[in-house]
Chains A and B, each alone.
Chain A
Amino acid sequence: MIALRDAAIGIEGRTLIAPATATIATGRFVAILGANGVGKTTLLRVLAGALRPVAGTVRIDDLDPAAAGPLERAHRIAFVTSDDAPVDGLSARDVVASGRYPFHRWWEWSEDAADTAAVEGALAAVGMAGFSGRGFETLSSGERQRVWIALALAQEAPVLLLDEPTSHLDVRVAHEILALLRAQAKAGRTIVCAMHDINDAATYADALMLLGDRAMLAFDAPERVFTAALLERAYGIPMEIVRAASGAPRAFAIGNASGADPGS
């Protein structure tokens, strides 16, 4: 369970999100939505313990992530960042095996049976079992994202945080990744995922956390968050809400085909 209690989120003295209270139950899949720069990544970093909340408290079960040691944190929280530092000379399997770092003391250099099972299981769970020997740099964007998620799964942490895992991916691959996260939530992992595609978020997430106007505008089921008023407030552009054949809500920004400056 993830609990924010009157937690204000900010960075370098600037508050991005006013104090908010929210609880994410175990096994839920929550998508964080909001415009660029609104604080989605910062919120994830606070949940991951890389930053302290400006005010209030954040707890992962009974753990204060910012106060915990790096190893304890790694056992509880896995964080798939959007960091794109180059990874030279490692195979897909090498990358995933890094997720086993918190399970070893510094003198334990070799992989044990539990490591092998976790690494192979994680690769299989993301559909990359056949790629373990491939050089990471030779993989496509979608395959790399699967490998990063496999690394997080190999960490065997109950909480999985992801920063825009489907950006830069084509439609099919994005849906496959989200279905995979959905399955992980079903298996009992708590998933918090910053996303840009609001319709994909509404399709796969149990709840949407909508950020905007320096506050948490909404934290609720997709049907309730998908109102033109809320989404317009968050994204600053007129929105039209429709229902898909499945009954799921869909939102579309109403563009300006005449090309006039929307700011004027």
Chain B
Amino acid sequence: MDVPIRLAGLLAVALLALLASLLVGGSYLAPGDLLYALTHPGANTDVVTILWQLRMPRVCIAAVVGAELAIAGALLQGLLRNPLVDSYLTGVSPGAAAAIALSVVAGVAAPALPAIGFVAGLGTAMLVAAFARRGAGLDAIRLILCGVSLSALFSAVVTLVLTRAGADYAAQILAWLAGSTAGRGWHDLAFTLPYAALGLAFALAAVPALNVLRLGETRATAVGVNVARTQWVILIAAALLAASAVAVSGSIGFVGLVVPHLARRVVGGDARVLLPASALLGAALCAIADAASRSIAAPAELPVGVLLAFVGVPTFLYLYLNMQKAPA
């Protein structure tokens, strides 16, 4: 099968996943009602309100977050030539978690938390990058070591805050740590989109260099790739994407690590198709996980991050160990 056809297949999968996740939730929408509400956004009925005020923004956020994390993971795996890497390697998530935990205890109002998480996540990534500098560029091993160490440090901060904070605070912090899109609305999407777009722009600028980097840094340098600049562009792209995802949905792990692997199996390793394929698969996966989190124990909600790990990890292992390798 041609790569464009495979990509179109992934697009169809992602659209189906989005539609399906619009149907389920606290109350099930019949496909006819969904169609009516989609085509009459101004109508004043319960179905229209549920779809446009509650469900649509959540599904969109889940999809955007999934796409962001998947692209960030694909970028860093390509840059570091290491399949075990994801965007959290840069410390984005623990950094944001620590800042949010401290802010919650300090009594900061909930609407300010995404901005704090975003700044702290991005700041942590830049701190890791500063430690990992070597000459004009970045040292891959140092980046991984510093990312893991700082992550451990900030995770310890979160644990410390959790053990000292009152039950109310702890519940609020834990809800964030578990990774969730519950109660997110259009304003959260509006918050994350500009940074997502900026991160995506950086990512796209690095695509040709990312492809040549598959030959290794020495050979990439020989054909004119500015390796140091490419490293920074990719790191900034991944940090922006991951930090803006973490800011609205908390710590959703697993997507950034495994989606690029699945995408690579479907379309191969060419960054020109790997990045869109990762985005589509990440969006589909998170949208479905979000729908499941709303419906499995309705009216109670399960955290998306936890659900993704429970359902996603065995699925991933099964697929990864059994799927035929796609043409490069």
Contact = CB atoms under 8 A, between A and B. Distances in A.
Interface string B182-226: 000000000000000000000011111101101111111111111
Interface in A58-88: 69-71, 73-75, 78-81, 83, 85-88
Contacts of A81: 218-219, 222
Q: How large is the interface on A (under 10, 10 to 19, 20 to 34, 35 or more residues)?
A: 20 to 34
Nearest to B269: A89
Contacts, number: 80
A107 B209 CA distance: 11
A119 interface: no
Interface stretch (A94-102, A173-181, A204-212, A217-225): A94-102
A101 B211 CA distance: 9
A85 B209 CA distance: 17
B112 interface: no
Contact of B225 (A94, A95, A101): A101
Contacts of B208: 101, 104, 106, 108-109
B40 interface: no
B317 interface: no
Interface residues of B, number: 28
B134 interface: no
Interface in A97-135: 98-99, 101-102, 104, 106-109, 135
B212 A135 contact: no
A91 interface: yes
B277 to A, nearest CB: 14
B110 interface: no
B190 to A, nearest CB: 27
Contact of B215 (A50, A70, A79, A98): A98
Contacts of B214: 87-90
Contacts of B219: 81, 83, 85, 98, 151
A33 interface: no
A98 B211 contact: yes
B163 to A, nearest CB: 45
Given A70-B221, A101-B225, A109 B272 contact: yes
B268 A79 contact: no
Contact of A87 (B215, B221, B222): B215
Contact of B223 (A69, A102, A107): A102
Between A48, A70, A86, A107, the greatest number of chain B beta carbons within 10 A of the residue's beta carbon is seen for A70
Contacts of B269: 88-90
20 contacts: A50-B221, A73-B224, A78-B223, A83-B218, A85-B81, A85-B216, A89-B214, A90-B214, A90-B215, A90-B269, A94-B270, A98-B215, A98-B220, A98-B223, A101-B223, A102-B223, A104-B208, A106-B208, A109-B208, A155-B223
Given A69-B226, A106-B209, 20 more contacts: A70-B221, A70-B224, A71-B226, A74-B222, A74-B224, A78-B222, A85-B217, A86-B216, A88-B214, A89-B214, A89-B328, A90-B214, A95-B215, A98-B211, A98-B212, A101-B209, A106-B205, A107-B205, A108-B208, A109-B208
Interface of A: 48, 50, 69-71, 73-75, 78-81, 83, 85-91, 94-95, 98-99, 101-102, 104, 106-109, 135, 151, 155
